Each structure stands twice: as structure tokens, then as C-alpha cells.
Amino acid sequence: MKISFLTFILGFFIFLSLNRHSKSGIQNYHSEIWADKAGYYIYLPAFFIYNFQVDGLPAEIDKKTGNGFIVRDGKIITKYTYGVALLQAPFFIICHVLSKLCNLQDDGFSLIYHKSINIAAVIYSFFSFIFLFNFLIRYLKKKVVIITLACLYIGTNIFYYSVFETGMSHIYSLFLFASYLYLGPIANEQKKPIYVFLFGLIIGLII
């Protein structure tokens, strides 16, 4: 029952996000790969598709995606680090494989790649709250934890960045800090190498 309810919640918010962007199109300021969001994202197609060779990129793709990165002197220049792209990578890879299998445009900037970002943001926000719940339940009563998380969701811009501006860094930062809080006590108590490694990885991504 609990798993079914959580699955329903996850599916509902994925639907909300996909529906929100269903008429956004691509290469405009409403889209998921635009301006700052493109600056975070560019690492993925650059690495997995173009091997950082700018000659293969779609013509004027930096301008068409809002100048979040610059193509100049044979280089891709972005002021953003690759943390967001690293977290988006599993969704990008799945999307890229599906694009090839289904004979869809697989240049890294077509519609299906935009949708993968929507799904990624919802899933990371979902697990952020799962981790926060499991952290807080150590110290507070269940009712207090639920009220606290509800206030956090309603009183902040988490909904906006998990459904509307899915390509921005906010949700991914939330996930990392929630993971930090969740894994910290576990790594300290159990001392297992896997937990220590994951905790260190999370700290590295946060930094």
C-alpha cells in the first residue's frame, strides 16, 4: 500500500512536469535546455555524442539555446561545473539509447532529451523527500516529520523547480544535501566502506 501510494505520487508529478512542458517546444526560453539550463546540460551531448568536437554540434546551437554556453575557437565554453550534468547523465543515456532504437533525432537537443530532464528533476525531488523523511524520523515523531516536510514543500520553491524549471540546479542541490543528511548518520554508525564512499561522493558533488 505504501509503495503503491509513493509510486502514484511519483507518477503524478512526472505527469505534471511533462504536461507543463508539453507545449513549450524547444530552443525557446520556455524550454528545458535554455540559457543557464543549457550551460549545465552541455557537458552531456558534448561528452557522449560529440567527444567535445565542436564541428559536430548543430549549427549555432549555443545561440539557439539561449547562450548558456559559448562555442568559440573550437571550444565549448561554459561557466558552470558539471555537477548537474553528472546527475542528469543516467537519464540522458537512457534517452539517447531510446532515440537510437526508435530512430528519433539523437543529436542531444531534440524533444526527447528535454523530456528526460523533466523526469530527472521530479525523481530527484522525490528521493530528496524520501531521504529527508528517513533522516528526520530518527529524531522526531512521524506526524511532526510529515508536517515539517509538507511545510518545506509548500513554503519554498521546490515545486516550481521540480515541475517548471527542471533544468536548473536547485533540485539537484536539494537532492545532494538530503543525501548528505541521510547518509551521514548511517556511514558513522555502520562504518561500511560502501556508505563511507557514497558519503564522500556526495560531499564531493556538493563542493
pLDDT at residue number 7: 94
C-alpha distances out from residue 104 to 20, 51, 95, 101, 129, Å: 22, 20, 10, 8, 34
Tell me the torsion sign for CA atoms 22, 27, 31, 37. Answer: positive
User: How far is it, in rounded angstroms, from Cα 187 to Cα 181?
Assistant: 10
pLDDT tens, position by position, for the chain (207 residues)?
478 899 999 999 999 999 999 998 999 999 999 999 999 999 999 999 999 999 999 999 999 999 999 999 999 999 999 999 999 999 999 999 999 999 999 999 999 999 999 999 999 999 999 999 999 999 999 999 999 999 999 999 999 999 999 999 999 999 999 999 999 999 999 889 999 999 999 999 998
At 36-55, the pLDDT tens digits run 999 999 999 999 999 999 99
Name the residue range of residue 128's domain.
2-206
What HEC string does 175-195 produce?
HHHHHHHHHHHHHHHHCCHHH
Cell 507545449 sits at which residue? 23
pLDDT at residue number 102: 95
CA torsion 203-201-87-90 (nearest 10°) is -170
pTM, entire model? 0.94
At 123-144, the pLDDT tens digits run 999 999 999 999 999 999 999 9
User: How far is it, in rounded angstroms, from Cα 118 to Cα 97?
Assistant: 17
Answer yes or no: are the C-beta atoms of 107 and 58 closer than 8 Å.
yes
When divided into structural domains, the chain yields a total of 1
pLDDT at residue number 46: 97
Burial class (CB in 10 A: 0-12, 13-18, 19+), 143: exposed
Largest CA distance in the chain: 58
Phi first, then psi, for residue 77 (nearest 5°) are: -115, 120
